[in-house]
Amino acid sequence: MDTSFLLPILGFDTSERIIKAFPKLRDYELHYSDLSILEALWKIVKKIRGTEEEISRVVEGIASITESIKNAPITEGAVKDAINMYLEGHRDLIDNLLYATALAHGLKFLTVDATLREFVETVGLPTDIIVFPEELSKEKRKN
């Protein structure tokens, strides 16, 4: 799952596409990467003033993520694939690592990043693991 899907859990706004996907996500087994938490925190610290309320909201969100969503650890193979993706032209290393981690674990990668899907297709990597929010079905599924 892309970082953008963690932001609402941490109490921060994101796109309408992501918000509309949340009711459907209940039907899926979700996975997150520690990299997504790091990336979310980078985005959050640029927007908050550091009030106790803001910090508590983020801490509670992190607890909710780690308690209710499964962690997908980065593998050596995912690091190798992500670096190769970077060298082949996709310059978002975090997205590369998230995609490659999903691939390494046999998971789907939920994202709104059309550029990533186009890149993956261009270089011949599996595109069937990339899922946009609009593609989520109401059927109960894993990944």
Give the CATH number, domain containing residue 28. Answer: 3.40.50.1010
Enter the tokens of residue 22.
């949340």
What is this structure's pTM? 0.92
Radius of gyration of the chain (CA): 15
Q: 33 near 97, Cβ under 8 Å?
A: yes
Q: 8 near 38, Cβ under 8 Å?
A: no
Q: 33 near 71, Cβ under 8 Å?
A: yes
Q: Mean pLDDT across the stretch 117-141?
A: 88
Number of domains present in the structure of the chain: 1
* Domain assignment of residue 127, yes or no: yes
* Domain assignment of residue 140, yes or no: no
- What 3-state DSSP class applies to 70? strand
Domain range enclosing 77: 3-135
Question: Among residues of the chain, what percentage have pLDDT more than 90?
Answer: 92
pLDDT tens digits, one per residue of 47-98:
999 999 999 999 999 999 999 999 999 999 999 999 999 999 999 999 999 9
CB atoms within 10 A of CB 35: 18
* Domain assignment of residue 80, yes or no: yes
